Chains A and B, each alone.
Chain A
Amino acid sequence: MSEWTEQTNGSTSDLDQEIGRPSMVLDVVVRAEFHALLVASLWLLFVGHNLPGGGFVGGLVVVAAFGLRLAAGGSAELLKSLRIRSEVVLSLGLLVATGTALLGLVNDGTLLQSRELHVTLPWLGEIATSSAFFFDLGVYLVVVGSFHWLLEVFSEPESEGDFE
Chain B
Amino acid sequence: MIFAVVAVAILGIGNRWGSRVFLVASVGPLAALVWAVSAASRVGNGDLPTESWTWVSSLGLIIDFRADWFSILMALLISVVGIGVFLYAVSYFENSRDVARIASALVMFAGAMFGLVISDNLLLLFVFWELTSLLSYVLIGSNEEKPGARVAALHALLVTGSGGLAMLAGFILIGESADTYSLSAIVHNPPSGMVVNVAVLLVALGAFTKSAQVPFHGWLPRAMEAPTPVSAYLHSATMVKAGVFLVARFAEPFSDTTPFGPVVVVVGCASMILGGWRALRQHDLKLLLAFGTISQLGLMMVLFGSGKEKLAIAGCVLLIAHAAYKSSLFLVVGIIDHQTHTRDIRRLGMLGRKWPVVAGVAVAAAASMAGVPPFLGFLSKELAFYGFLDWSEPSGLIVLCVVAVASAFTVAYSARFVWGAFFSVRSGRAVLDPPVSTPSPNAWFALSPLVLASLGLVLGVLPLLLESLVSGSVKSLGFEVPTIHLALWGGFNAALALSALVLVAGAWMFVGRRAIERIQARFEGVPSSVGVYDATVRGVLALSGRVTAITQSGSLRVYVAVLVLTMVALPSIPLAMNGWPGSWPSLVDSPIQAVIGIIMITAAAAAAVFHRRFASVIALSVVGYGMAALFVVQGAPDLALTQVLVETLGTVAFVLVIRHLPEKFVVAKSRGNAAAIAVSVAVAVFVFWFALSARTVSETAGPEAVVATQVESTESERGPAVEERTVSEEYLERSKPEAHGSNVVNVILVDFRGLDTLGEITVLFVAAIGIVGLIRFGARRSKDRTEVDQEVVDS
List A residues at the B interface (Cβ < 8 Å): 15, 18, 44, 48-57, 60-61, 63-64, 67, 70-71, 90-91, 93-94, 97-98, 101, 111-112, 114, 116, 128-130, 132-133, 135-136, 138-139, 142-143, 145-147, 149-151, 153-155, 158-164
A133 to B741, CA, bound (A): 10
Known: A114-B751, A153-B771. A50 touches B646 (CB 8 A): no
- Count CB-based A-B contacts (< 8 Å): 158
| A55 contact from B739, B750, B765, Cβ within 8 A | B750
| A116 contact from B740, B745, B755, Cβ within 8 A | B740
Residue B641 at the chain A interface, CB threshold 8 Å: yes
Nearest B residue to A117 by beta-carbon distance?
A: B740
Q: Which positions 723-749 of chain B face chain A at CB distance < 8 Å?
A: 739-743, 745-747, 749
A92: min CB distance to chain B, Å: 11
Contact with A along B753-795 (1 / 0, CB 8 A): 0110110011011011001100110111011000000000000
CB <8 Å contact, A139 and B779: no
Contact with A along B72-86 (1 / 0, CB 8 A): 000000000000000
Known: A94-B765, A135-B750. A49 touches B740 (CB 8 A): yes
Residue B518 at the chain A interface, CB threshold 8 Å: no
Residue B144 at the chain A interface, CB threshold 8 Å: no
Kindly list chain A residues whose C-beta atoms are within 8 Å of the C-beta of B757: 97, 135, 139
Nearest A residue to B761 by beta-carbon distance?
A: A142
CB <8 Å contact, A56 and B642: yes
Kindly list chain A residues whose C-beta atoms are within 8 Å of the C-beta of B641: 44, 52-53, 57
B785: min CB distance to chain A, Å: 9
Given contacts A71-B652, A146-B768, 11 further A-B contacts (CB under 8 A): A52-B638, A56-B749, A67-B648, A97-B758, A114-B740, A143-B764, A145-B768, A146-B765, A161-B783, A162-B782, A163-B778
CB <8 Å contact, B783 and A93: no
A133 to B749, CA, bound (A): 11
Residue B660 at the chain A interface, CB threshold 8 Å: yes
List B residues at the A interface (Cβ < 8 Å): 554, 637-638, 641-642, 645-646, 648-649, 652-653, 656-657, 659-661, 739-743, 745-747, 749-751, 754-755, 757-758, 761-762, 764-765, 767-768, 771-772, 775-776, 778-780, 782-783
CB <8 Å contact, B779 and A132: no
CB <8 Å contact, B660 and A149: no
Kindly list chain B residues whose C-beta atoms are within 8 Å of the C-beta of A67: 648-649, 652
| B758 contact from A51, A112, A133, Cβ within 8 A | A112
Residue in B554, B637, B745, B751 with the greatest tally of chain A CB atoms within 10 Å = B751
Residues of B contacting A: mostly: helix
Nearest A residue to B638 by beta-carbon distance?
A: A52
Nearest A residue to B754 by beta-carbon distance?
A: A112
Nearest B residue to A162 by beta-carbon distance?
A: B782
Residues of A contacting B: mostly: helix
Kindly list chain B residues whose C-beta atoms are within 8 Å of the C-beta of A98: 758
Known: A60-B649, A64-B645. A163 touches B657 (CB 8 A): yes
**What are 21 A-B pairs at a CB distance below 8 A?**
A44-B641, A49-B743, A49-B746, A50-B741, A52-B641, A52-B745, A63-B649, A94-B761, A97-B758, A101-B754, A101-B758, A114-B739, A130-B739, A130-B740, A135-B757, A139-B750, A154-B653, A158-B780, A159-B775, A161-B778, A162-B778
CB <8 Å contact, B741 and A49: yes
Nearest B residue to A18 by beta-carbon distance?
A: B659
CB <8 Å contact, B638 and A57: yes
Name the 8 nearest CB pairs between A and B, nearest first. Answer: A60-B645, A146-B768, A49-B741, A161-B779, A154-B656, A112-B754, A52-B637, A161-B782
CB <8 Å contact, B743 and A48: yes
Kindly list chain A residues whose C-beta atoms are within 8 Å of the C-beta of B783: 158, 161
A99: min CB distance to chain B, Å: 11
